[in-house]
């Protein structure tokens, strides 16, 4: 019988890789919590119109990429393609704005887009995202850039650049579109078929197109930043000054529009320096809460694509420093191991073993493959003397430890 495989564009995350995932997730959670964000768990399935209304009818996500189905009662459901629209729905529905002026939320989980699968582009992918509701100051926009920069630095990801732009408010956007529409229409034949539709329905989208002829034609357009009203201009300039103050490497990219309709004013992306792949994106969406029938509350947020960060986490940082492998030489050691394990569990020390009957050198080869740094060796000699041997697989050093000192000594070593 043929084996049934996973769906196209969807992958398993295997135990070999999981430590990298956890490290990234924990880093973002820890830093966001230090910045005062609280977790929200939003559903994976929602009423499809949350996304149609939130993301925009004429966006690629809504037009081409949503996983949609009808449930048994004929309700129109979608698997969430992103988190913001759901968080906004939950913010409004649960009247979270009644509690405090500023609400800071983070979420983490799988998103689904029926995208063309390729390297770094999946149909189920994972995003960590944050949203700040209630603050219109550019300090909030800058806080998010600062948070991202701290998290990437902590993960050792430094070959990145922040791309920044402002789309202005509705008025600025309208003025700009009016200004460029003539140029776009007189050059309509230079655009791909998708862009021809975009020019009609959602002209800013043309800046996202990868087609060479479209890219060349939009190069000649004026910059949206030159069309900002005084307030939007002031907001953007203040934001940029703050980023400079943090010493973060950035580039203003007037062609950065992002693939989602709800953005106003600040938009940003974090790209790898060498291959221009985006690992995070976000911006301000001051009208979305109101447009989704909530109160008039400004907001700003970002989402990081975890799948694209995982390959960047170095393996050498993944040495398991906080796990002890129990090398059990002989039947007596295996029997004694349960006592030791109980002690380790009570003291929250992680361990692994496989109870195999093999020689010390064979055991050490096995431990080496696991990436575990510490191994505790126990044989008949050690049992007789009431000791164990603790070996550091990284340096090769080993020491004898009295049974009643096991926990203290391991805790000391794991810390270093």
- 141 contributes a contact to ligand AMP by CB under 6 A: no
- Residue environment code for 21-36, b if the CB has 16+ CB neighbours within 10 A, otherwise e: bebbeebbbebbeebe
Joined tokens for residue 394: 């990284």
Quote the least distance from Cβ 45 to ligand AMP, whole Å.
18
The residue among 357, 359, 356, 360 whose CA lies nearest residue 375 is 360
- 305 contributes a contact to ligand AMP by CB under 6 A: yes
Q: Which of residues 328-367 bind ligand AMP (CB under 6 A)?
A: none
Which residue of 11, 29, 35, 121 would you call a contact of ligand AMP, by CB under 6 A? 121
Of 99-107, 247-255, 304-312, 393-401, the window that binds ligand AMP (rule: CB under 6 A) is 304-312
Q: Which is nearer to ligand AMP, 83 or 134 (CB)?
A: 83
User: In this structure, are residues 136 and 296 in contact, taking their beta carbons and an 8 Å threshold?
Assistant: no
Size of the site for ligand AMP (CB under 6 A): 17
Q: Which is nearer to ligand AMP, 278 or 407 (CB)?
A: 278
Quote the least distance from Cβ 181 to ligand AMP, whole Å.
26
Q: Which is nearer to ligand AMP, 111 or 340 (CB)?
A: 111
Length of the chain: 416
Q: Which is nearer to ligand AMP, 149 or 353 (CB)?
A: 149
CA distance 385 to 354: 24
Q: Which of residues 368-397 bind ligand AMP (CB under 6 A)?
A: none
Which residue of 281, 294, 298, 301 would you call a contact of ligand AMP, by CB under 6 A? 281
Joined tokens for residue 41: 């768990």
Which residue of 155, 279, 300, 344 would you call a contact of ligand AMP, by CB under 6 A? 279
Quote the least distance from Cβ 279 to ligand AMP, whole Å.
5
CA distance 302 to 180: 28
Quote the least distance from Cβ 302 to ligand AMP, whole Å.
8
Which residue of 28, 37, 122, 285 would you call a contact of ligand AMP, by CB under 6 A? 122
Of 98-106, 117-125, 186-194, 284-292, the window that binds ligand AMP (rule: CB under 6 A) is 117-125
Q: Which is nearer to ligand AMP, 102 or 277 (CB)?
A: 277
User: In this structure, are residues 123 and 113 in contact, taking their beta carbons and an 8 Å threshold?
Assistant: yes
Which residue of 29, 278, 319, 323 would you call a contact of ligand AMP, by CB under 6 A? 278
CA distance 327 to 337: 9
Of 120-128, 178-186, 205-213, 343-351, the window that binds ligand AMP (rule: CB under 6 A) is 120-128
Quote the least distance from Cβ 240 to ligand AMP, whole Å.
21
Q: Which of residues 29-88 bind ligand AMP (CB under 6 A)?
A: 82
- 113 contributes a contact to ligand AMP by CB under 6 A: yes
* Residue 351: C-alpha distances to residues 108, 333, 339 (Å): 28, 15, 13
* Residue 59: C-alpha distances to residues 56, 212, 264, 282 (Å): 6, 20, 15, 16
- 280 contributes a contact to ligand AMP by CB under 6 A: yes
User: In this structure, are residues 288 and 50 in contact, taking their beta carbons and an 8 Å threshold?
Assistant: no
- 208 contributes a contact to ligand AMP by CB under 6 A: no
Quote the least distance from Cβ 121 to ligand AMP, whole Å.
4
Residue number of the CB atom closest to ligand AMP: 305
- 285 contributes a contact to ligand AMP by CB under 6 A: no
Which residue of 218, 303, 390, 393 would you call a contact of ligand AMP, by CB under 6 A? 303
Q: Which is nearer to ligand AMP, 23 or 113 (CB)?
A: 113
Which residue of 109, 110, 254, 259 would you call a contact of ligand AMP, by CB under 6 A? 259
- 106 contributes a contact to ligand AMP by CB under 6 A: no
Beta-carbon contacts of 154 under 8 Å, excluding residues fewer than 6 positions away, are 27, 31
Binding footprint of ligand AMP on the chain (CB under 6 A): 82, 113, 115, 120-122, 125, 127, 259, 278-281, 303, 305, 307-308
């Amino acid at each position: 019988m043929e084996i049934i495989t996973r769906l196209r564009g969807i992958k398993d995350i295997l135990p070999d890789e999981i430590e990298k995932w956890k490290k990234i997730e924990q880093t973002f959670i820890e830093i966001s919590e230090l910045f005062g964000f609280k977790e929200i768990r939003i559903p994976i399935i929602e009423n499809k119109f949350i996304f149609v209304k939130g993301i925009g009818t004429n966006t690629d996500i809504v037009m081409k990429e949503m996983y949609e189905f009808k449930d048994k009662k004929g309700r129109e459901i979608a698997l969430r393609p992103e988190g913001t629209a759901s968080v906004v729905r939950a913010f409004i529905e649960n009247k979270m704005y009644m509690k405090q002026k500023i609400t800071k939320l983070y979420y983490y989980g799988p998103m689904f887009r029926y995208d063309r699968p390729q390297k770094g582009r999946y149909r189920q992918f994972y995003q960590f995202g944050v949203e700040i509701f209630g603050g219109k100051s550019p300090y909030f926009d800058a806080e998010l850039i600062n948070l991202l920069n701290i998290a990437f630095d902590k993960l050792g990801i430094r070959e990145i650049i922040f791309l920044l732009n402002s789309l202005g408010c509705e008025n600025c956007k309208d003025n700009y579109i009016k200004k460029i529409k003539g140029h776009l229409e007189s050059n309509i034949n230079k655009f791909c078929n998708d862009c021809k539709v975009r020019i009609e329905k959602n002209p800013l989208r043309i800046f996202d197109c990868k087609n060479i002829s479209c890219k060349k034609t939009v190069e000649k357009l004026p910059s949206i930043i030159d069309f900002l009203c005084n307030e939007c201009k002031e907001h953007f300039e203040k934001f940029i000054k703050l980023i400079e103050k943090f010493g973060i490497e950035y580039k203003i990219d007037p062609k950065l529009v992002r693939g989602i309709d709800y953005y106003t004013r600040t938009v940003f992306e974090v790209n790898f320096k060498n291959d221009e792949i985006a690992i995070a994106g976000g911006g301000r969406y001051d009208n979305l809460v109101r447009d989704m029938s909530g109160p008039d509350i400004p907001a700003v947020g970002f989402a990081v694509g975890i799948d694209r960060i995982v390959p960047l986490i170095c393996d050498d940082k993944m040495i398991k420093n906080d796990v002890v492998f129990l090398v059990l030489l002989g039947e007596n050691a295996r029997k004694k191991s349960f006592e030791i394990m109980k002690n380790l569990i009570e003291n929250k020390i992680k361990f692994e073993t496989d109870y195999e009957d093999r020689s010390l050198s064979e055991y050490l080869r096995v431990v080496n493959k696991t990436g575990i740094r510490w191994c505790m060796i126990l044989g008949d000699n050690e049992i007789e003397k009431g000791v164990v041997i603790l070996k550091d697989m990284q340096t090769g050093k080993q020491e004898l430890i009295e049974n009643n000192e096991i926990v203290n000594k391991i805790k000391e070593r794991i810390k270093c």
